[in-house]
Amino acid sequence: MFGLFKKNPIKKLEANYKKIMEEAMHIQRSGDLKAYAKKIEEANKVMDEIERLRT
């Protein structure tokens, strides 16, 4: 019952991952592949954190 109002860190990280991937898509469309690679690397770090929390 007391855990009812606890925030789920995985949901926050998933929302952050989605936001980063959308930014990466826009960067890729603009043609800046170096910035795109950095965003994808950032997204991969977030995804690794999500997977770590799930296990």
Distance CA 36, CA 8 (A): 29
pTM of the model: 0.84
- Domains identified in the chain, total number: 1
Per-chain mean pLDDT for the chain:
93
Determine the average pLDDT of the residues in 30-53: 97
Position 25: which residue type? M
The range of the structural domain enclosing residue 47 comes to 2-54
pLDDT band at residue 8 using 50, 70 and 90 as cut-offs = confident
In this prediction, residue 26 carries a pLDDT of 97
Report, as an integer, the average pLDDT of 30-54.
Answer: 97
3: pLDDT strictly greater than 70: no
Q: Between vectors from CA 40 to CA 8 and to CA 13, what angle results, nearest 5°?
A: 5
- Short-list 27, 21, 26, CA closest to 46: 21
CA distances from 15 to 9, 30, 32, 33 (A): 10, 23, 24, 23
